[in-house]
Amino acid sequence: MGKAKIRIGCGAGFSGDRLEPAVILAEKGELDYLVLECLAERTIALAQKRKLQDPEQGYDPLLERRIRSLLPLLVQNKIRLISNMGAANPIAGAQKIIEIAGELGLSISVAAITGDDVLVKIDPNWPALETGAALEKSGPMISANAYLGIEPILEALQSEAQIILTGRVADPSLFLAPMIHAFGWKTDDYDLLGKGTVIGHLLECAGHITGGYFADPIKKPVAGMAELGHPFADVFPDGSAVISKVDGTGGVVNVQTAKEQLLYEVLNPYEYYTPDVIADFTTVHLSESGPDQVSVRGGTGKNKPATYKVSVGYKAFFLGEGEISYAGSAALERAELAGEILTQRLKGQFPDLRIDYIGSSSVHRGNFGHQAAPYEIRVRAVAKASSVSQAALIGEEVEALYTNGPAGGGGVRKGVNEVIGIVSVLLDRELVEPKVCIFTI
């Protein structure tokens, strides 16, 4: 309590993020806290699906690799790790961390936060926020996870746990909780919570603010992209911060990268809803205070919402697809003929069949008058289906083009995936009961 400054690093911005930036932060970043933000809306539903197949699974697929590389550094440098890598199964994830620590001969305490799984409390007849229709109209529900806030993380921080593993928690809360813990902020001081939420939001996507998603080789060149560093923030008791990255890592931190991240996923900058505070981003001031350093001041907040947002995953459909390439003279014309053949053979069974000409019209579904004669084109056929066998017909028809024409097709790829959809509802806070379980070795 009463610290003059803390340093928080963000070593991952999504489940599949690189492993090395977090290791560099833990080794050279002189951190107090390292956050790994590894959950997205569909990620948690897919994790629940894995847990249904195996009760010992459901935590992040990269948890073991991340922990093995980080754990010795966390212990050596006395860094506390906060991460939502627990996904659908924080208890099993915590037990796996304890197992790894034992193999490495390290003593560690892990706090697992549960309570975000609220599937049994969701009425299928409730309307989805996105559609207004009953949840059951979307498809069979497989998951429902509430976006928890700071409260259970603060409880875990009061313990001796060096690693705090959560399930679904609002992204900024992972960063806000250690600020409150370190500086003794009151949880109803909404101006300070608004400022801390701004900082957490700026950090949460990791490489976004160090130039990753920002980079454009023509308009916004960024050096050292192959060794992109991830950010850390020096946070002060007044809710201000300086965001930077480890010296010698690639990328850039400047006002432009910070502004792009500040606006990322923000629908209303006057009211950015989290479980902890409704933050106002309109008074944030960003300035460059040195090379790869951005000072962050401002931001306010008001009362926290009376409800939690709940992300509901459901079985949407099976997706069948197939791809084949055509190259050389008249590549586009041969590709378009392939598309016509596929349309004639499949449209009756798949009314929403989509044919893409990758390299010509696959992203924007048209060329907008900028048509050129490409040397190579890849045809992609894709459609929704109600079963695996029906979805497989798409790839089978694409593969049949090998010998049934047009000429010169090759490199077929086909597949079937079960697609998990996401909708949302609101749930009264008193119906959600977070819990903290401690594991030690």
Integer CA distances (angstroms), 128 to 132, 133, 136, 225, 424, in order: 5, 6, 9, 40, 6
Q: Is the dihedral of CA 388, 389, 390, 392 positive or negative?
A: positive
Look at residue 267 in the predicted model and tell me its pLDDT.
93
Query: How far apart (Å, rounded) are the C-alpha atoms in residues 350 and 329?
Result: 31
pTM of the model: 0.93
Look at residue 363 in the predicted model and tell me its pLDDT.
60
Residues in the chain, pLDDT under 70: 1-2, 361-372
Contact 174, 151 (CB under 8 A): no
Look at residue 160 in the predicted model and tell me its pLDDT.
87
Look at residue 45 in the predicted model and tell me its pLDDT.
86
Longest Cα–Cα distance in the chain? 75
Region class of 258: left (phi > 0), else alpha (psi between -120 and 50), else beta: alpha
**Beta strands 109-114 and 80-83, pairing class:** unpaired
Look at residue 79 in the predicted model and tell me its pLDDT.
98
Q: Which helix (H) or strand (E) holds 181?
A: helix 171-183
Nearest residue to 42 via CA among 320, 435, 387, 424? 424
Query: How far apart (Å, rounded) are the C-alpha atoms in residues 209 and 200?
Result: 12
pLDDT (tens digit per residue) in 415-424: 999 999 999 9
